[in-house]
């Protein structure tokens, strides 16, 4: 019975890695579609969000089977419970990649008047956070989980910089399309939210190792 349980826990790790890779790819593709004004890729990202939803359901089913059939206790129960919470945030990251792609379809209709370097930096930073948070869970690495949480400041600072630069561009350009600027600020905001969800994942990793979530002892 225990060997079966260990096998299923390994399956859980692998499934979380797969879901993490799926959302990382969604972030990367959302950034690429935006920069290159690639509407075909943007539409593929929107369509592929269902695959991330399906992966969430698959992992949720595995977690419930582990709880109901294997009756995990102590550390194992914290781990499975954390995984259930983590996949909700990973699914929301996929949603935000889709949201960005929907804005890309609108933005691609007009020329870009500005460089997109900061937004691409936000994409890279959030991909790092997602990757490291999943790695922290699989490796049971408390230090790495805390590093992910601290790294969210990088994403927040990039968002503030992007927003300020876009508003300055709008104020200093008489012919600037206001809707265009608002949509770009929303893109940056979605990346900032992705960073928040990656932070949530890292916080659940900490819970899986300590039984404490945001300074409150749960288990």
Which carries the bigger pLDDT value, residue 111 or residue 137?
137
How sure is the predictor about 5, in pLDDT bands with cuts at 50, 70 and 90? confident
Mean pLDDT on 81-104 = 97
Domain holding 60, by residue range, is: 2-217
- Can you give the CATH number for the domain in which 20 is found? 1.20.58.220
- pLDDT tens-place string over residues 149-168: 999 999 999 999 999 988 88
How many structural domains are present in the chain?
1
pLDDT at 70 over 90: no
- pLDDT tens-place string over residues 14-27: 999 999 999 999 99
Mean pLDDT on 58-83 = 89
Q: What percent of the chain has pLDDT over 70?
A: 93
DSSP, residue by residue, the chain: -HHHHHHHHHHHHHHHHHHHHHHHHHHHHHHHHHHHT-HHHHHHHHHHHHHHHHHHHHHHHHHHHHHHHH---HHHHHHHHHHHHHHHHHHHHHHHHHHHHHHHHHHTTS---S--HHHHHHHHHHHHHHHHHHHHHHHT-HHHHHHHHHHHHHHHHHHHHHHHHHHHHHHH-TT--HHHHHHHHHHHHHHHHHHHHHHHHHHHHHHHHHSEETTEE--
Query: pTM for the full model?
Result: 0.92
């Amino acid at each position: 019975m225990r060997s079966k349980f260990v096998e299923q826990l390994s399956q859980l790790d692998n499934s979380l890695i797969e879901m993490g890779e799926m959302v990382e790819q969604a972030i990367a593709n959302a950034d690429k579609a935006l920069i290159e004004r690639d509407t075909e890729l943007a539409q593929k990202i929107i369509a592929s969000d269902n695959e991330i939803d399906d992966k969430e359901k698959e992992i949720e089913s595995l977690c419930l089977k582990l709880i109901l059939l294997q009756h995990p206790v102590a550390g194992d129960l914290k781990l499975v419970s954390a995984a259930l919470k983590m996949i909700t945030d990973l699914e929301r990251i996929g949603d935000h990649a889709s949201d960005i792609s929907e804005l890309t379809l609108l933005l691609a209709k007009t020329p870009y008047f500005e460089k997109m370097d900061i937004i691409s930096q936000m994409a890279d930073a959030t991909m790092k956070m997602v990757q490291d948070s999943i790695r922290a869970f699989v490796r049971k690495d408390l230090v790495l989980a805390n590093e992910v949480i601290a790294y969210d400041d990088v994403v927040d600072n990039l968002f503030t910089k992007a927003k300020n630069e876009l508003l300055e561009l709008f104020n200093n350009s008489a012919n600037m399309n206001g809707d265009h600027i608002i949509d770009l600020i929303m893109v940056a905001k979605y990346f900032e939210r992705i960073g928040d969800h990656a932070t949530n994942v890292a916080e659940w990793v900490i819970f899986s190792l300590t039984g404490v979530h945001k300074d409150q002892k749960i288990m």
